[in-house]
Amino acid sequence: MTKTIGQPIKYLMACVILSLIATPLLSASGMGLAAGQPEVTVADGGPSGSSAQAQNSSWPLHQIGADVAISKNDTGQSVRIAVLDTGIDYNNPDLRHAYYGGYDFVNNDSDPYDDNGHGTFVAGVIAGTIDGQKGSLGASPDVEMYAVKVIGADGSGSIRNLVKGVQWAMDHNVSIICMSLSISYNNPTLKEVLNEAYNRGILLVAAAGNTGGKVTYPARYETVIAVGSVDSNDKVAKNSATGPEVEVVAPGVNINSTLPGGRYAVWSGTSFAAGYVTGALALLLSAHPGINNEGIRSLLNNGAVDLGAHGKDNQYGYGLANVADEV
């Protein structure tokens, strides 16, 4: 199957390009596959305002109730998470405690080092600790994190590698797959492998997208928890995708997290909201180890703080993810 609008988009399983869901601070750029273009790269290309010191990173943890869970020693212990992204800087002092290995499907080797920055940023949101202090950066500091590199240095990758990444995660018995990436249309092979993962008991999380319009794939699939983005005042980010597929929202505006080389930056995007929800699910799993993925998903939705129109709506879904009353 090919599309010819300007330049051809090559065969779906060979060269369909994924785009990372991240918008840099002060940028109005949205993300997603542009019509008629064979690939879309990361909108930021690099961090905006990076520094050697972390800024205040605790407010998102309070917003999702992670601080309450951590105070009860529900820290995501023994929960295995596969981060399907650009890799992770496993030497980063804020992340190396949580790194348990991975694979690089871009270069076909066992070294999933992050040569872009996006994956390291998402990893910090999930499990980062500043100077070893739990509750200082990531939502679930004691998880076992696996870097599954399916996106290259330029911020793009293939569906074929994404499918391989999901299969790798299944083979390594992970509990959660985090996908902060976007595809503009349905791919049956991807849908099938995600259905298989869900049926095996894996929780699937994806960024809703920074389109300002419709939710992108894989977040559109029913088996996947689609996560929108809000700011510190619980307002939906203007470029956060909306629609009936949105399940919950989480902090995704002016987020401080880790970069390769031990540095920090402030970025915005539904990528990072997805990271916080991934961490929140890990907290629920550590608090309720006997509950399956559907049960944990129900706990997430039941605990969400209803915002916007009463009940589930197209902007907030069930509401702001918050695990404080569910741990």
Type of residue found at 136? S
The three-class DSSP label of residue 255 is strand
- CA-nearest of 232, 185, 236, 229 to 209 is 229
Q: Give me the pLDDT at residue 56, please.
A: 63
Of 44, 74, 85, 142, catalytic: 85
- Catalytic site includes residue 118: yes
pTM of the predicted protein model: 0.88
Residue 95 falls inside a structural domain: yes
Q: For residue 218, say if its preceding peptide bond is cis, omega within 30 degrees of 0.
A: yes
Burial letters for 305-318: b for 16+ Cβ neighbours within 10 Å, e otherwise? bebbeeebbbbbbb
Q: Which two tokens stand for residue 231?
A: 């700011």
Residue 6 falls inside a structural domain: no
Q: Per residue in 9-45, pLDDT tens?
A: 222 223 334 556 554 332 222 333 333 332 322 323 3
Nearest-5° Cα angle at 137, 133 to 143: 80
Distance CA 50, CA 266 (A): 7
Looking up tokens 């066992």, which residue turns up?
110
Percent of the chain with pLDDT over 70: 83
* Beta bridge pairs of residue 264: 51, 258
Of 175, 268, 271, 286, catalytic: 271
Residue 13 falls inside a structural domain: no
User: Is 132 in contact with 124 (CB distance < 8 Å)?
Assistant: no
DSSP class per residue in 181-223: EEBSS--HHHHHHHHHHHHTT-EEEEE--SSSSSPPBTTTSTT
- CA-nearest of 196, 193, 218 to 270 is 218
User: Is 44 in contact with 253 (CB distance < 8 Å)?
Assistant: no
Residue 176 falls inside a structural domain: yes
Rounded to 5 degrees, φ, ψ at 4 are -125, 95
Q: Per residue in 220-260, pLDDT tens?
A: 999 999 999 999 999 999 999 999 999 999 999 999 999 99
Q: What is the mean pLDDT of the segment spanning 297-318? A: 97
Residue 293 falls inside a structural domain: yes
Residue 116 falls inside a structural domain: yes
User: Is 272 in contact with 232 (CB distance < 8 Å)?
Assistant: no
Distance CA 234, CA 195 (A): 31
Q: Give me the pLDDT at residue 161, please.
A: 94
Distance CA 206, CA 225 (A): 6
Residue 262 domain boundaries: 19-303
Residue 321 falls inside a structural domain: no
Residue 53 falls inside a structural domain: yes
- Catalytic site includes residue 271: yes
Distance CA 233, CA 88 (A): 30
- Number of domains present in the structure of the chain: 1
- Catalytic site includes residue 142: no
Q: Is the pLDDT of residue 5 over 90?
A: no
User: Is 289 in contact with 48 (CB distance < 8 Å)?
Assistant: no
Confidence of residue 131 (pLDDT cuts 50, 70, 90): confident
User: Is 240 in contact with 212 (CB distance < 8 Å)?
Assistant: yes
Q: Per residue in 98-118, pLDDT tens?
A: 999 999 999 999 999 999 999
CATH number assigned to the domain comprising residue 248: 3.40.50.200
Strands 203-207 and 176-179: parallel
* Beta bridge pairs of residue 12: none
Of 118, 175, 184, 286, catalytic: 118
* Beta bridge pairs of residue 144: 80
